[in-house]
Amino acid sequence: MLNGITHSKLFVLDQDRALDFYVNKLGFEVTADIAQGPVRWLTVSAPGQPGHQIYLEKPAPPAMSEETAAQVRDLLTKGALGFVALQTDDCRKAYETWKARGVEFTQEPIEHFYGVDCGIRDPFGNLIRVLQPAAAAHKSGSAS
């Protein structure tokens, strides 16, 4: 039976720019960067967690028709496609670090009953939520 998730996918318009954003700004690690004919298999993962990779796919043939790729690109730039949720031990520290690196935030860190979270938009329109769970928030003294 099932015992894990190995890959997820986010559409991106430019894989080099995606690589820079996810690795150099957010701190992900490259798990694969392989040219396969017209396709570039580019995956990243959270540091030390290569078991769940995110495929940063450019919407284009041969995976889909050019007409479909154009529709996907349009929806992507409107923020209507990708979503990923990240977990951290210190949401406010991640916010300050990433803000200094030029990451675009859709929401600053806010304290909730479930923890502290904030929102990011990647350069292509994908939405990212960053959560510091309540247990971690209490340990760091940032939640009451």
The answer to whether residue 33 is domain-embedded is yes
DSSP state of 139: H
The answer to whether residue 119 is domain-embedded is yes
- 140: three-class secondary structure by DSSP: helix
The answer to whether residue 1 is domain-embedded is no
The answer to whether residue 126 is domain-embedded is yes
Task: Report residue 103's pLDDT band, with 50, 70 and 90 as the boundaries.
Answer: very high
* Percent of the chain's residues with pLDDT above 90: 90
Give the chain's domain count.
1
| Mean pLDDT value across residues 3-22 | 96
Task: Report residue 144's pLDDT band, with 50, 70 and 90 as the boundaries.
Answer: very low
For 19-58, what is each residue's pLDDT tens digit? 999 999 999 999 999 999 999 999 999 999 999 999 999 9
The answer to whether residue 2 is domain-embedded is no
Integer Cα distance of 119 and 138 in angstroms: 21
Integer Cα distance of 86 and 143 in angstroms: 19
The answer to whether residue 74 is domain-embedded is yes
CATH number of the domain to which 72 belongs: 3.10.180.10
For 65-90, what is each residue's pLDDT tens digit? 999 999 999 999 999 998 999 999 99
The answer to whether residue 94 is domain-embedded is yes
CB 23 within 8 A of CB 45: no
Domain containing 32: what range? Answer: 7-140
